[in-house]
Amino acid sequence: MIPIIIGVTGLPSAGKGVFCDIARNHYGFKQIVMGDVIRRECKKRGLPVTRESSNIVMIELRKERGANAIALVTLEWIDNLIQKDVKLILIDGIRSLSEVETFTASYENFTLIAVHASQQTRLHRAMNRRRKDDAFSKEAFLERDKIELDIGIGDVVAKSEILISSETSISKTKKQFKEALEFILKQNKIEIEV
């Protein structure tokens, strides 16, 4: 069986984490978080792993090594999983078209899914959940959105093969996530009991 690789994109607080939790916990996907590449690089550079230093390193890596620098490291991690015979792989945090092109060129069974929510909904979620990498003010939230959009995440969302709105209730959103995953698995003739 050719590995099934799903890339997940979306702006902060759109609901990607919930999607990834469902893919891992209900369907057995192994998750690779592209942000881990950046966090590892922060540590290598002796920087604290904060949202601010991560943003700086993310931009610097792309300037130093090309727009797909983070994807190239991620490829190594994916290939390690494939060598261990992992067949269901999830890439969390795709942000640029060059990353999409890198994954599409490398894996014939790559599907891009975008999770979308309005800016108002995402801001509300970020303020309420208070995760350590969330912005804690409206200004910081908008700045983070600007950085993500400058990198090209809007183009990635537009290019996605499946777009899921997470504006509805959590139960309806989870149902949509499961339907999308089951659609991809069914396309690849994989049956998984959930």
- For 25-29, the CB contacts below 8 A with 24+ separation are 26/178, 26/181, 26/194, 27/88, 27/181, 27/185, 27/192, 27/194, 28/88, 28/192, 29/88, 29/89, 29/90
Q: At residue 132, does pLDDT exceed 90? A: no
Q: What is the pLDDT of residue 127?
A: 84
Measured distance CA(113)–CA(163) in Å, rounded: 6
Among left, alpha and beta (phi > 0; psi -120 to 50; other), residue 127 is: alpha
Residue 44 main-chain phi, psi, to 5 deg: -60, -35
Q: The tokens 């003739």 sit on which residue?
A: 189
Residue 99 main-chain phi, psi, to 5 deg: -65, -45
Specify if 25 maps to a domain.
yes
Q: At residue 192, does pLDDT exceed 70? A: no
Structure letter (DSSP) for residue 179: H
Residue 24 main-chain phi, psi, to 5 deg: -70, -55
Total domain count, the chain: 1
Can you give the CATH number for the domain in which 151 is found? 3.40.50.300
Specify if 189 maps to a domain.
no
pLDDT above 90: percentage of residues in the chain: 73
Q: What is the pLDDT of residue 178?
A: 95
Domain that holds residue 8: 4-184
The answer, as to whether pTM is greater than 0.85, is yes
Specify if 56 maps to a domain.
yes
CB count in 10 Å sphere of residue 102: 22
Specify if 165 maps to a domain.
yes
The mean per-residue pLDDT over the stretch 88-105 comes to 96
Query: pLDDT (tens digit, 9 = 90+) per residue, 104-130?
Result: 999 999 999 999 999 999 998 888 876
Q: What is the pLDDT of residue 43?
A: 94
Q: At residue 134, does pLDDT exceed 70? A: no
Specify if 77 maps to a domain.
yes
Q: At residue 188, does pLDDT exceed 70? A: yes
Specify if 191 maps to a domain.
no
Specify if 37 maps to a domain.
yes
Measured distance CA(181)–CA(6) in Å, rounded: 9
